[in-house]
Amino acid sequence: MQPEVTQQSAGRAGTTEESGARPGGRVTLRGDLRAALPDAAAAVVITGAVFLFLYFRMKEGVGDTVAVMPFMDDPDTYWMYLLSQAFGWSGLLWAWGTVMLGLLLSGPGTGRLPVSHATLERWHRTTSLTTMALMAAHALMFMAELVRYEAAMGWAERIWAGFADSFVPGWYDSGTGQIAIPVGQAALYLAVPLGLLFYVRHRIGANTWRRLHRFVIVVYVLSVWHTLLYGTNVWYGDWPRTMLWILQLPVAVLLLVRLLRPARRGERLGAPSGRQAVGWTLRVAGRVLVLAVVVGILAVTFSGRDGGRPRPADPPAAALHEHEDG
């Protein structure tokens, strides 16, 4: 989740200090980790606020997680699960922000914005580092909850079971989680290399890095898909789920604009030429697909058909491992 722009462009658009680079040198991971501290602190505050919100809703017995899994009506027992959910939401929020920044930087330009290009690029880098940390914290807290939950097993066995269910693709073998968990894992495992390759682009070549980094949008799509599939707070077809869909509209529109008006001249579509007809057709197809996504999100928003499950008259009594009922 790093910017689609090169260090040269940062040099053109702002000072070394603004871009976060070493004086006369490259942007380093260590420097960006330091620069990400205020951002990460803000993320911790937001996560704490979401946690408290979910905690008190569960305490009052009105949270949707309890509606899906009624045995979870004790936030003092299930606090790690709630913290995992809170990290999931802050992770998704930060992913949204960093993707928006990346699309602005690689798309129509930032000329009319009150913040310099170099500053936006630095924000994009720091927010993407924070996003990765939040995603990892979300998965780790889920593992911690599973380890706590399986109290009947021995320690080695419960740690292995919690780890495998959370981090080994295909291991979690219950209900919707059989798809939703690997989708989340794919997002996490793709985010890390696609984000961190930026810091070794002098070794792999700026073009290779740029080509690979483009696929970071897949990480975002997987994250949203995972949430829509598995988030118990957006389980039912009510307004929180519709809101989640609506928040994807600016991302889809900006992606479309970025494809139609890319910052880099070489990425503009141009006229079809005989030799590159296949590539040209694929690029047109990509743009049509994103347009279809924009129309799809509008359709979901106005129709209210957001894929949410109907609220059952009698709530199910699923165990932690089985939260597929709806």
Q: Residues interacting with ligand HEM, by CB under 6 A?
A: 65, 85, 88-89, 91-92, 95, 135, 138-139, 142, 166-167, 181, 184-185, 187-188, 223, 226-227, 230-234, 323
Would you say 101 or 263 has its CB closer to ligand HEM? 101
CB of 300 to ligand HEM, least distance (A): 18
First to last CA, the chain: 34
Would you say 19 or 233 has its CB closer to ligand HEM? 233
CB of 62 to ligand HEM, least distance (A): 14
CB of 115 to ligand HEM, least distance (A): 25
CB of 50 to ligand HEM, least distance (A): 8
Would you say 164 or 298 has its CB closer to ligand HEM? 164
Residues 6+ apart with CB under 8 A from 134: 43, 47, 87, 90, 91, 94
> What is d(CA 326, CA 323) in angstroms, rounded to the nearest whole number?
8
Would you say 234 or 300 has its CB closer to ligand HEM? 234
Which whole-number Å values give the CA distances from 184 to 24, 119, 222, 301, in the listed order? 39, 30, 7, 24
Would you say 7 or 233 has its CB closer to ligand HEM? 233
CB of 91 to ligand HEM, least distance (A): 3
DSSP string for 59-125: HTT--HHHHH-GGG--TTTSHHHHHHHHHHHHHHHHHHHHHHHHHHHHTT-STTSSS-HHHHHHHHH
